Chains A and B, each alone.
Chain A
């Protein structure tokens, strides 16, 4: 009886959220990467996921559009259970934009074709319509002049912005970012973050796996800290980043924010700095 009520509850929360994840487990062979994740992203919310490498952040993100198949647990996207064996995963993925660390632009196609190919093949848009959408999105990311270029001719920052525009051209309800600036030269990170800031300001639902703490602090509605396959701490960015409660969070932030210093000796810090 109470069981039924609880399940009813879950379904109702799931339909409100853009992403709802319940007791998600993922193993690669004997290696358990996600050890029971409960997680949600509300509509219009920007959630940044931080944590050391190998903590399972990217795997969590990739489980949401089923680039990885969860070992157990449930994932809802816009109220639809994507872990249901009957789900049309291609249809679900159409509504989820995905931005990769390595951009993954299609090197044999021009920038414009990169943006139009899925619109034409998947959404069956006419060439004219697809190109109009592509043009709008390239302008949005500041690459209107690169339409005819090929990916190899773009800088890393331009390539990542083109990749974002490619995702946007499908008209997604939410966007997943998998360390979008980690493969960029430091001076090119700003342009990409600027585009992402703009998306957040326009009300896009975003889940961002990132190491850019200042971006998380400034743009995120919520920050989630993951370590060793679990969510250790989550909350407002000023809380998680400014006054972390958990020692693992503190340890991680100390290492990220002061990479040259030794951690866990906070007393020596101010004097020797």
Chain B
């Protein structure tokens, strides 16, 4: 069976063996590819021709509605999303570095505390944690957290982010070859000096791509702070979109809000890809 195919393939379409003319292996591959392209074009055409474009545009891309959203969607909502993400990220990074160093510590209690923290925050839903900060703590204490409105947002986004980033940073530190620390120590550097000057800078170069992914996730998670009961000035994209949906009775604001998230996340994705390609070349 295999033998026949191979012979037919090798001698090509020229060979007539009584039946149909056989295709060469390359011709078969090309044909298969052409069929896939054709199917793709057909489905595309079907969608373009059959869809009710005026209706879709009216409901989801309504220019009248969209115009009413500007400039607030950018100057308030997008700005707030970016600010909340940045605050969560900075807090998460600093605290995550501390947790990573604790996890790698030779002092066992540090490792235990870090492990418990990381497992806890990786295991509970972000929404539950936000409810706890926004409503649980005030209910118990009879007072809001100090530093409103930012403290529940920073802690709400930053503390779970720290748990994820701690694991990323720890992996990065461990990915730096042992010889680097040995060389630094052999030059007389203390453990701390070797970490700060030699190991951590290299670890961060390794983890920039996964850390950027962390920012993307955090950008989307920032939508959940809407449940903390925000005011007009502190609305972020999701809350803004939902309120506008209720007010204007049209889903266009949600589409616009979605596109605004992409303004942040797509460039970050592209940066990650470039960095990964760069790292691969450097090795």
Binds B, one of A4-12, A101-109, A186-194: A101-109
Beta-carbon contact of A106 and B180 below 8 Å = yes
Instruction: Produce 1/0 per residue, B158-182, CB < 8 A to A.
Output: 0000000000000000000101101
> Would you call A241 an interface residue if the criterion is a C-beta within 8 Å of the partner chain's C-beta atoms?
no
Which chain A residue lies CB-closest to B181?
A104
- Contacts A65-B186, A90-B189, A118-B187; is A152 near B282 (CB within 8 Å)? yes
In the complex the two chains form, what is the Cα distance from A163 to B205 in whole Å? Answer: 22
Q: Which of A67, A106, A122, A163 contacts B188 (CB 8 A)?
A: A122
Instruction: Produce 1/0 per residue, B30-70, CB < 8 A to A.
Output: 00000000000000000000000000000000000000000
Beta-carbon contact of A104 and B189 below 8 Å = no
Chain B interface size, as a band, is 10 to 19
Q: Which of B179, B187, B198, B205 contacts A93 (CB 8 A)?
A: B187
Beta-carbon contact of B201 and A104 below 8 Å = no
> Would you call A166 an interface residue if the criterion is a C-beta within 8 Å of the partner chain's C-beta atoms?
yes
**Which applies to chain B's interface (DSSP): helix, strand, loop or mixed?**
helix
- Contacts A100-B179, A107-B202; is A122 near B189 (CB within 8 Å)? yes
29 CB < 8 A contacts A-B: A65-B186, A90-B185, A90-B188, A90-B189, A91-B188, A93-B185, A93-B186, A93-B187, A94-B188, A96-B186, A100-B179, A102-B177, A102-B179, A104-B177, A104-B179, A104-B182, A104-B183, A106-B184, A106-B198, A106-B202, A108-B202, A117-B197, A118-B184, A118-B187, A118-B189, A121-B189, A122-B189, A122-B193, A152-B282
Taking A104-B177, A104-B183, A122-B189 as given, write out 11 further A-B residue pairs in contact, using a Cβ cutoff of 8 Å, ordered by the A residue number: A65-B186, A67-B182, A93-B188, A94-B187, A98-B186, A106-B198, A107-B202, A118-B184, A118-B189, A122-B187, A170-B188
Which residues of B does A touch, CB under 8 Å?
177, 179-180, 182-190, 193, 197-198, 201-202, 205, 282
3 closest Cβ contacts across the A-B interface?
A94-B188, A118-B187, A104-B183
